[in-house]
């Protein structure tokens, strides 16, 4: 379901609580990735219609402690989440420093995407949300609401020893007669360390 970015508001507020345990000397390899997204909006009362492509070439991975998100069946499956911010340009040391220390910082590119992976107590992914932002318009959808759907959405999704591996391609469509009609596709090849840890 398309919805406002309530989780992004939570994350922004939490950044003020802790700058995280992963700040270290800048290494471009900790951010370089390939993650491409396409979104086609066929119907909407508030979003621009048409197709848009985001070609991600860098990403910042954040571990959020204490999220306590609820799955589609209303149960609390876990307390943590991984937030992946994807950008169309390589991140620089100055940009990373700004993102890590200023929760209100403007995104370095107008086109960007965010992937949120909700973790159970075994650090396995049980829900995935995808947000794509074009200029000032954002669309957030739950592309996987169970662990099985998460595995179908990505051929590899693991979080181990402070490192996230996320690979695969897939698609998602949403059609609400009185609201939005849109489709999303993704092709992600990401293997990056967590660079920030915050608590809600």
Contact assessment for residue 196 and residue 62, using Cβ atoms and an 8 Å cutoff: yes
| pLDDT the model gives residue 135 | 65
Give the domain extent around 89.
Answer: 6-199
| pLDDT the model gives residue 23 | 47
Dihedrals phi, psi of 152, to nearest 5 degrees: -75, -25
Contact assessment for residue 179 and residue 138, using Cβ atoms and an 8 Å cutoff: no
CA distances from 121 to 52, 100, 200 (A): 36, 26, 17
| pLDDT the model gives residue 146 | 92
Calpha distance 102→86 (Å, rounded):
17
Q: Is residue 95 part of a domain?
A: yes
Q: Over pLDDT 90: what percentage of the chain?
A: 47
pLDDT at 187 over 80: yes
Selection from 129, 126, 131 nearest residue 86 by Cα: 131
Tell me the pLDDT tens digit for each residue of 9-24.
455 444 433 444 344 5
Q: Is residue 67 part of a domain?
A: yes
Q: Is residue 69 part of a domain?
A: yes
Q: Is residue 14 part of a domain?
A: yes
Structure tokens at 138: 């954002």
Tell me the pLDDT tens digit for each residue of 71-128.
455 555 556 999 999 999 999 998 888 888 765 555 655 678 999 999 988 889 999 9
Contact assessment for residue 180 and residue 160, using Cβ atoms and an 8 Å cutoff: no
Structure tokens at 62: 């954040």
| pLDDT the model gives residue 106 | 54
Structure tokens at 28: 């471009």
Q: Is residue 180 part of a domain?
A: yes
DSSP conformational letter for 93? H
Q: Is residue 150 part of a domain?
A: yes
Q: Is residue 1 part of a domain?
A: no
pTM of the full structure: 0.81
Which residues are bridge partners to 144 per DSSP? 128
Domain count for the chain: 1
């Amino acid at each position: 379901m398309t919805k406002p970015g309530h989780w992004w508001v939570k994350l922004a507020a939490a950044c003020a609580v802790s700058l995280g345990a992963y700040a270290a000397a800048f290494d471009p390899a900790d951010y370089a990735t390939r993650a491409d997204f396409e979104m086609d909006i066929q119907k909407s009362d508030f979003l621009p219609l048409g197709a848009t492509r985001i070609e991600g070439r860098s990403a910042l991975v954040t571990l959020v402690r204490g999220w306590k998100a609820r799955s589609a069946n209303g149960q609390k499956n876990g307390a943590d989440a991984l937030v992946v911010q994807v950008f169309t340009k390589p991140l620089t040391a100055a940009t990373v420093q700004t993102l890590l220390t200023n929760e209100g910082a403007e995104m370095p590119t107008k086109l960007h995407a965010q992937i949120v992976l909700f973790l159970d107590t075994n650090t396995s992914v049980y829900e995935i949300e995808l947000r794509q932002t074009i200029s000032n318009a954002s669309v957030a959808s739950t592309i996987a609401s169970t662990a099985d759907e998460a595995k179908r959405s990505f051929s590899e999704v693991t979080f181990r020893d402070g490192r996230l591996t996320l690979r695969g391609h897939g698609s998602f469509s949403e059609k609400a007669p009185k609201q939005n009609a849109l489709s999303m596709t993704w092709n992600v090849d990401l293997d990056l360390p967590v660079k920030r840890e915050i608590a809600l």
